[in-house]
Amino acid sequence: MLLSRRILRGRSLNSGRSCLCYLTSTPSTTAVATELKPPTITQFSTAAPTSAKLKFDGSYKLNKLYNVKGHYFSSNAVDSQQAGGIIDVPLAQTGEGIAECELLKWFVQDGDHVEEYQPLCEVQSDKATIEITSRYKGKVSKILHTPGDIIKVGETLLQLMVDDSGVPFNASDASVGSDGSKSDEHKLDLRKSHENDNLSTPAVRSLAKQHGIDLADVTGSGKHGRILKEDVLKYGVEKGIIDDKPAFNPTSIEPMSGPEEQLQEMAESLYHDKIFSLRAYQRAMVKSMTAAASVPHFHYVEEINCDGLMKLKSAFQKENTDPDIKFTFLPVLIKSLSMALTTHPLVNSTFNLNNYEVTLKGSHNIGIAMATPSGLVVPNIKNVQSLSILEITKELSRLIKLAMANKLPPADIAGGTITLSNIGSIGGKFGSPLINVPEVAIIALGKIQKVASFREDGSIYPVSLMTVNIAADHRILDGANVAIFCKEWKMYIEKPELLLLHMR
């Protein structure tokens, strides 16, 4: 066993000399062990160019671990390796169920030197924004996509030129005991072919494909020989592939004069149709709302007196000494919601229709719907039942900053158990929300506003009133479940001192 480890690590079997063997792991596809012939190791001496052969006993059944095909394999596999030190860097799986991502921006350019674990680009799935880092140290050979492209998982993002010593040997290119000079020539030819790869954007490649033009025949006029759209069109005209039509020259058209012509031009521009593609969070919204359309909703509306809540908020803000913390109504509403969920766990559950299973969630991961420049996103505050109001305030502030900067990681979005939509912060008395599947409830908070209320003696007094609308999955929750739950939640909001009485 010790001997096999020394061999797999490429250690010297002879003192004073070094042994170089190339290994690549391939899992065995059969349960029957086949007899392994004693392999031959080529030993290279640092003192002389001549080589000697050394044999060893293969009785330890190395073939049970590796399928040996005339040479040894490295257990450090490369996802996509090309000869000549060029490797493909693919878009890795960024999360469960993610099939594609939008490329937001590059941190590197063609020709840049890259260190190991250095960020290469930033992509956004329908769940989160992620930075893609490099596994290798090398030089950017070719960037294959531009910001805004939708890239499938596993598709190559860019190509890196790395040192031969930095990338495991590709066993399919050569075998032990073969002629080294032929292998070197073959690798050199492949290296040249990769160095001569055409630099072009996806749009240029699409144009060339449309007209049946081989980009290898086109001379690029851009930086580092990059092939531009004009280069493809020029080549097509020269070869008679594309009709030689005069290019559009805006200066050749005389501008319209007079107020009538200007009004006509403005009117035409106003009525032009525009098409845009849904991206990232917007695509997530389509999937989520499509799933919600299959859920039988029912809505429960209640009015809550927020006078006590407003006094509590003013007291918090008055005693606040941290300028980075701003107290709002929302943290108290979140904490009071968690208190009510403790005695009504069915409202804090998820439903699996395929197995007809309801999961009562042990953690109160309360999602907060946020409108951002990139679309609607719902990060959640984890384990609210274990947090103080101050801790909830700080966590909410952190999530808002990340959401507005489009920097939310997947962990902050996944795992929600119930959602709050504070539509009242924008406007409107109340909303009619749709459930965030597989959750079974969502609550829309309306605007807190002063209204007139009547005492028992008929006198009028002002009240700070908020309307809430609870949308529930009628397959799991019925009206009585939601009414009793909302009654307890309302009690905590209208009498916030009870939070202290029941808080653990």
- What positions carry a catalytic annotation? 474, 478
Question: CB of 70 within 8 A of CB of 175?
Answer: yes
Task: Give the bridge partners for 124, in sequence order.
Answer: 102, 129
For the chain, how far is it from start to end, CA to CA, in angstroms? 57
Beta bridge partners of 44: 18, 51
**Tokens (6 digits) for 481:** 């479940």
Cis geometry, peptide bond prior to residue 168 (ω within 30 degrees of 0): no
Enumerate residues 6+ apart whose C-beta is below 8 A from 474.
Answer: 296, 297, 298
- Please say whether the beta carbons of 227 and 204 come within 8 A: yes
Torsion (CA) 134, 135, 137, 143 in degrees, nearest 10 = -40
> E strands, 75-171, where?
86-90, 100-106, 113-114, 119-124, 129-133, 138-143, 150-152, 156-162
Q: Whole-angstrom Cα distance, residue 386 to residue 402?
A: 23
Query: Which regions of 184-276 does DSSP assign to beta strands (E)?
Result: none
Tokens of 357: 């299973």
CA atoms of 199 and 218, how far apart (whole Å)? 11
**Cβ-Cβ contacts under 8 Å for 153 (sequence gap 6 or more):** 90, 91, 92, 93, 94, 98, 99, 100, 101
Strand order, beta sheet including 40-44 = 18-19, 40-44, 51-55
CA–CA distance, 369 with 420 (Å, rounded to integer): 6
Distance between CA 285 and CA 288 in Å, rounded?
A: 5
CA distances from 77 to 85, 180, 204 (A): 14, 23, 33
Give CA separation, 476 vs 185, 349, 417, in Å.
Answer: 69, 9, 14
Q: Cα–Cα distance between 331 and 107 in angstroms, integer?
A: 37
